[in-house]
Chain A
Amino acid sequence: MKLLEVIDLHKIYKMGLEEVRALDGVSLEIEKNEYVAIMGPSGSGKTTLMNMIGCLDTPTSGRYILNSTDVSLMSDNELAKIRNKEIGFVFQTFNLLPRSHALHNVELPLIYAGVSKEERIERAKEALIAVGLGDRMYHKPNELSGGQRQRVAIARALVNNPSIILADEPTGNLDSRSGEEIMSIFYRLQQAGNTIILVTHEEDIARHAERVIKIRDGKIEKIEKDYQRIIPKI
């Protein structure tokens, strides 16, 4: 079942007189429950593509259909709603609210979704338990290790049952052991039925996915899928 479709997507930034074509005619499809990596060197346009798929940014031209809805022409507020309901972000730098404890950070998407307090707390606790942080719910980010922070971020991404979990270099700031833990969580999440899009520049990380889409100069260079997929051991 098709989850999202990107058709001839262009994104052009104007830097003074110069035009930068960050995305130059990208088309791709992603199925439900797929595990896809978007790979490319820095400046390739992979982050721009991620921003489009994550509804953080809108394309200059082209269409983006998510769950049979065209989101490329939506307003700011409509996009905010899509991000809230359909997308779960995991960032390289975790992006947790520093003054709020883990539970509150995980609760945040549910607040914006208008979920009642009791249900919110219950679901946030479930999500934290699912990533193995049941005993760290009231710790603030600076009281947690990098790996634990990223797990809070994953719990936050999961909590509103999004269509896509969108992870941007999720292991970039972690040591290899914590990185592996995070990758095994993603693996389990896919097994549980989630769709995962991983953005990375590391081959080793990308190979955890079933399919790797390689981007260069704003275009899809190639799509790889016949390789030995890495299955996390932990």
Chain B
Amino acid sequence: MSNLKFEIKESIIIALQAIISNKIRSFLATLGIIIGVASVITMTTAIRGIDKSFKEGISSLGADNMYIDKFAWFTNEDFFKIRNRPDITLEQVYQYKELAKKPVAVSPESRVFTTVEYGSNNVQVFLTGGDQDYLKTTNFTFASGRFYNDVEAIAGRQVVVLGSEIAENLFNKINPIGKEVKINGIKFKVVGVLAKQGSFILGPFNPDKVVYTPIKNIFKYFSNRRYRTITIVVRAKNSDAIQETQDEAIAVMRRIRGLKYNEDDNFTVNLQEGLQEQYNKTVGIIQIAGVIVTGLSLFVGAIGIMNIMFVSVKERTKEIGIRKALGANRKMIMRQFLIESAFICIFGGLVGLVIAIILSLVINQFLPTSIDISSFFVAIIISLITGVVSGLAPAYQAAKLDPVESLRYE
């Protein structure tokens, strides 16, 4: 056993000597491995980052939510047909609220794209209006202050709750609570700031970038600029209740709209599941592309290693002859070259890992990535496998060399 340990050590020393004495050749040969490992690790950490923030985003919005809307998020139906659907009115929202028994919370939601100012700072945002039940449809957490309360919602007071990025951009280090911001020239008092929800993937719908206010303000001050249709945010009791809540929503809405049995729905109940599916599709494509890139570069890398190992076997024919004369059998020679090729690959893999760490630090500027210890093992295992696979043929060739002929080789 100590013997095997020594053989491994010796093969590693030989491999190191080979790498050092042929720096450029070794670098070129391992380039494929370096790129392969760097790309697989960068890819997986990036995808993990996207995944994490998507899940966080979904959960801050409420994972069991559905959205009754004029438009469907994902549909194969004719756009013009959907466009001609009637808008959802506030009246219909309250009819639904009264008739629907399944949801735990229901709120109308209406958005206006506008500018929020504080002093000389200003930010463009979606100003989002909801009623007194809006908070119950979310899982928001607060950095400071609170959401607008029932009284403020019902009375339509001029209060706002800021998403974390908005608060940062407008106020920098000042505490925003109690301060007044101007929207469209109208003063609003800040009553709360959300904690960072971290769902960058939702873009402008990311709660970090949204300002919340009672929906009455939207109607009062922005009624000519808002989207005419209203979205009904519905929260199911739990994920098991999503289906029945959706079924009920369709039935109730058809009743409100007075649809006959042979008429199609003129609204859509959008589920977050749909968002998830769409997300999976996109990430799936990225993943497939990643696998192809990684696979190709590892393949090219394996050929590079195989090539350098064939050269190494040829160069060291005499050495192989000597070792055989001294009693090395095929297995021992084979093992020596396999270890050497694996070591060169692991060396390349570690270089690739370093590159991946640097890349992910760069990507981290706009995407939350994190390289963890598992990446290290992934790099080692991938390069080990590549090394062994690409070393097989050269090692076999070395092992079956005839001792007499290889001793004669100069």
A: which residues have CB within 8 A of B?
51, 54, 56-57, 76-77, 80-81, 83-85, 89, 91, 95-97, 99, 108-109, 111-117, 156, 160
Contact = CB atoms under 8 A, between A and B. Distances in A.
A97 B326 CA distance: 12
Contacts of B332: 112
Given A76-B330, A80-B327, A111-B7, A117 B322 contact: no
Nearest to A54: B325
A114 B2 CA distance: 8
Given A95-B407, A117-B2, A109 B329 contact: no
Contacts of B322: 95-97
Given A112-B332, A116-B2, A117-B6, A84 B326 contact: yes
Nearest to A47: B404
B314 interface: no
A52 B127 CA distance: 93
Contact of A114 (B3, B17, B331, B402): B3
Nearest to A91: B407
A89 B327 contact: no
Contacts of B327: 80-81, 83-85, 109, 112-113, 160
A220 to B, nearest CB: 21
Given A51-B404, A56-B407, A99 B17 contact: yes
Contacts of B329: 76-77, 80-81, 112
A117 B327 CA distance: 17
A80 B14 CA distance: 22
B324 interface: yes
Contacts of A97: 319, 322
Interface in B1-46: 2-3, 6-7, 10, 14, 17
Given A77-B330, A81-B329, A84-B327, 4 more contacts: A56-B324, A57-B404, A83-B324, A95-B321
Contacts of A108: 323, 326
Q: Looking at chain B's contact residues, is the secondary structure mostly helix, strand, loop, or mixed?
A: helix
B328 interface: yes
Contacts of A56: 324-325, 403-404, 407
Nearest to A77: B329
A80 B17 contact: no
4 closest Cβ pairs, A-B complex: A84-B327, A80-B329, A112-B327, A77-B329
Interface residues of B, number: 25
A83 B404 contact: no
A116 B319 CA distance: 23
B205 to A, nearest CB: 65
Interface of B: 2-3, 6-7, 10, 14, 17, 318-319, 321-332, 402-404, 407
A156 B326 contact: yes
The winner among B319, B329, B407 for most chain A CB atoms within 10 A is B329
Contacts of A117: 2, 6
A105 B321 CA distance: 14
A97 B336 CA distance: 15
A57 B405 CA distance: 10
Given A76-B330, A77-B331, A83 B323 contact: no
The winner among B322, B324, B328 for most chain A CB atoms within 10 A is B322
B13 to A, nearest CB: 9
Contacts of B403: 56-57
A160 B327 CA distance: 11
Contacts of A116: 2-3
A56 B325 CA distance: 7
17 contacts: A56-B404, A57-B403, A76-B330, A80-B324, A81-B329, A83-B324, A83-B326, A89-B326, A95-B318, A95-B325, A96-B322, A97-B319, A97-B322, A99-B14, A109-B326, A112-B326, A114-B3
B245 to A, nearest CB: 72
A60 to B, nearest CB: 14
Nearest to A89: B325
A103 B329 CA distance: 22
The winner among B325, B327, B332 for most chain A CB atoms within 10 A is B327
Nearest to B402: A57
A111 B321 CA distance: 16
Nearest to A153: B322
A95 B324 CA distance: 12
A97 to B, nearest CB: 6
A109 B324 CA distance: 10
A43 B96 CA distance: 107
The winner among A80, A81, A116, A156 for most chain B CB atoms within 10 A is A80
A125 B407 CA distance: 26
